[in-house]
Amino acid sequence: MNRNLFTVALEHRASNVPLFDALEVDFGMTAAEITSREVMARLTNPGLMAFLPFVPRMGEAWCAEMVTRLVDQCGTGTPELWLLDLDAESAPALAAWLDAGTLTLGTLMRSPVDRDTSLHAVALALVRDGESLPGPGPDEVLRPGDRLLLAAPTSTRRVLDATLAHEPTAAYVVEGRFVPSGWLWRHLTRRPR
């Protein structure tokens, strides 16, 4: 009767699919599909599975703000989700700032093209010492060993990878310094002794 309701149905038999189609159910699924999707989600993105149980406890206002941030930063399509490890192996260019405790999430999310603009990404959770902090803010100080669950377009992931691995890029993003990256430029800009 109310066309604005979103309807979900559990289909117990494949023979009932035409019935659910005739009822114009918005989302119908069999028990086997639910189980297989749950297993695949747990295998392919354990970080997301650690984050999801927190969402119902965060309240409507927090959830609405998170949805707004996701749409603003990632658009209306499905963003790429991944866990970003902040350790010496995955983020070698950031090791000094992580060790010093001077790198914030907001700084990490700056664009290496123009550090005054932010990357199109949303930190869904910060995992530290096995504990998950949902929706960390830009002032959150990052530490060695932290893991971030990020949602972003694929292109943002590639740009962020440059900040993690390339020291001149990291120096610009974090401090605004331009560091020569090629052998010739390093040699030409070397200070006399």
Q: What are the beta bridge partners of residue 22?
A: none
Long-range own/partner contacts, residues 112-116 (CB < 8 A, 24 or more apart): 112/159, 112/162, 112/163, 112/169, 112/172, 112/173, 113/159, 115/172, 115/173, 115/176
* Domain 47-184 homologous superfamily, CATH: Regulator of K+ conductance, C-terminal domain (3.30.70.1450)
For residue 27, the model assigns a pLDDT of 75
Residue 182 banded pLDDT, cuts 50, 70, 90: low
**pLDDT tens sequence across 140-169:** 999 999 999 999 988 898 889 989 988 988
Sequence-ordered list of residues with C-beta below 8 angstroms from that of 100, at least 6 positions apart, any chain: none
Residue 109, phi-psi category: left (phi > 0), alpha (psi -120 to 50), beta (remainder):
alpha
Among candidates 155, 154, 174, which has minimal Cα distance to 164? 174
Sequence-ordered list of residues with C-beta below 8 angstroms from that of 121, at least 6 positions apart, any chain: 73, 74, 109, 150, 151, 152, 156, 160
**pLDDT tens sequence across 57-89:** 888 888 888 888 889 888 888 888 888 999 989
**pLDDT tens sequence across 11-58:** 777 777 788 778 777 777 777 777 777 676 666 666 666 667 777 788
Range with the lowest mean pLDDT among 41-45, 55-59, 125-129, 173-177? Answer: 41-45
DSSP state of 129: T
- Residues 135 and 148: their CA atoms lie apart, in Å, by 10
For residue 49, the model assigns a pLDDT of 66
- Residues 112 and 143: their CA atoms lie apart, in Å, by 21
**DSSP strands (E only) in the chain:** 8-11, 27-30, 80-86, 122-128, 131-134, 146-152
Q: Which residue has the higher pLDDT, 85 or 132?
A: 85
Residue 97 banded pLDDT, cuts 50, 70, 90: very high
* Residue-range domain boundaries for the chain: 16-45, 47-184
- Residue length, the chain? 193
